[in-house]
Amino acid sequence: MTENENTSNDPIIICEDVHKWFDDFHVLKGITTTFKKGEKAVICGPSGSGKSTFIRTINRLEEHQRGTIIVDGIELTNDLRNINLIRQEVGMVFQQFNLFPHLSNLKNITLGPIRVRKLSKRKAEEEALALLERMGIADQAYKYPSEISGGQQQRVAIARALAMEPKIMLFDEPTSALDPEMISEVLDVMRELAHSGMTMLVVTHEMGFAREVADRVMFFDEGVVVEEAVPADFFDNPQHERTKLFISQTLQH
């Protein structure tokens, strides 16, 4: 499947000169970019470069202080109604999974659909079981998060985000907290999701995944986008010194 089949030209996320400060620390220094419907963007960069903060501003887990972010036609402001609408359109997967430990895997997934989408319990459970089937872990539905492996937990977390039927999925270093042998099972699920046409913004150090799946790789450093390009150009022909250094350091091991 090529990028043309499921990437349209309609923009779904528009960022215009986005700035963010943590007290005196200037984390994002004017990010301007547009993501198209169905686009897969991989965001990489050294730690502290603002890459996680950037995707967290897109569902307003972090507030930006200057500039505009428009997600699917809704501008992110302090309007509570807009924030709630955005959160239903944007799913998020965290580095530490953040599953709810007091709820079974199935209930982790059905909570949002029942409480926010107002589905019946039966309908929500049907959908959740179908999602777990898709993630390859249908047999773990009635266990608790603490009873399954990290790779399985992250797949439950992906199912939980998908259960809200989002238009956009944000992944914040989804494989960084996993043991090496579990990384591929999570990447497989993300690859399948990418082929289904989902718009995805992925912060990751998995360069193999980026090369294979991404339409665009963005390199963040010190709060700015230093370089962005299609994976082939980005990895084989980087323009900036910092990008070259980062790629050589990342690919060394």
Partner 1 sequence: MHHASNTMAQNSTKIPFWRDTRVLQVLFQILFLLGVFLLAGILYANMLKGLDNLGLNLKLDFLRNEAGFDVSDTVIEYDPSNTYLKAFIVGVLNTLRVSLLGILCATVLGLFIGISRLSTNWLVRNIAATYIEIFRNIPLLLQILFWYTVFGSLPAARESINLFDTVFINNRSIYFPSLQQTAGISSWVGYFYAAAILSVISIFVLALIFHRKQVERMEEGDDIGYFTHVTRAAKWSIVPVFFIVAIIGWFLAPESPFVLGRPELQRFNVEGGIRFSAGFISLLIALSVYTSAFIAEVVRSGIQAVSKGQREAARAVGLSTGQTLRLIILPQAVPIIIPPLTSQYLNLAKNSSLATAAGYDDLFRIGSTILTQAGKAIPVFAMVMANYLIISLTTSAAMNWYNRWVNRFNR
**Binding region for partner 1 (CB under 8 A):** 59, 61, 84, 87-88, 90-92, 94, 96, 98-102, 104, 111-112, 115-116, 139, 141-144, 146-147, 157, 160-161, 163-164
- Of 14, 24, 25, which Cα lies nearest the Cα of 223? 25
CB of 164 to partner 1, least distance (A): 6
Residue whose CB is less far from partner 1, 70 or 85: 85
CB of 113 to partner 1, least distance (A): 9
Residue whose CB is less far from partner 1, 104 or 250: 104
CB of 233 to partner 1, least distance (A): 33
Q: What is the DSSP string of 142-183?
A: TS-GGGS-HHHHHHHHHHHHHTT--SEEEEESTTTTS-HHHH
Residue whose CB is less far from partner 1, 99 or 203: 99
Q: Which two tokens stand for residue 149?
A: 């492996």
CB of 102 to partner 1, least distance (A): 5
Residue whose CB is less far from partner 1, 86 or 218: 86
Q: Which two tokens stand for residue 127?
A: 């959908």
What Å distances lie between residue 25 and 21, 22, 50, 56, 66, CA to CA? 5, 5, 11, 17, 14
Phi, psi (5° rounding) for residue 213? Answer: -105, -35
CB of 112 to partner 1, least distance (A): 4
Residue whose CB is less far from partner 1, 143 or 211: 143
Q: Which two tokens stand for residue 52?
A: 């996680």
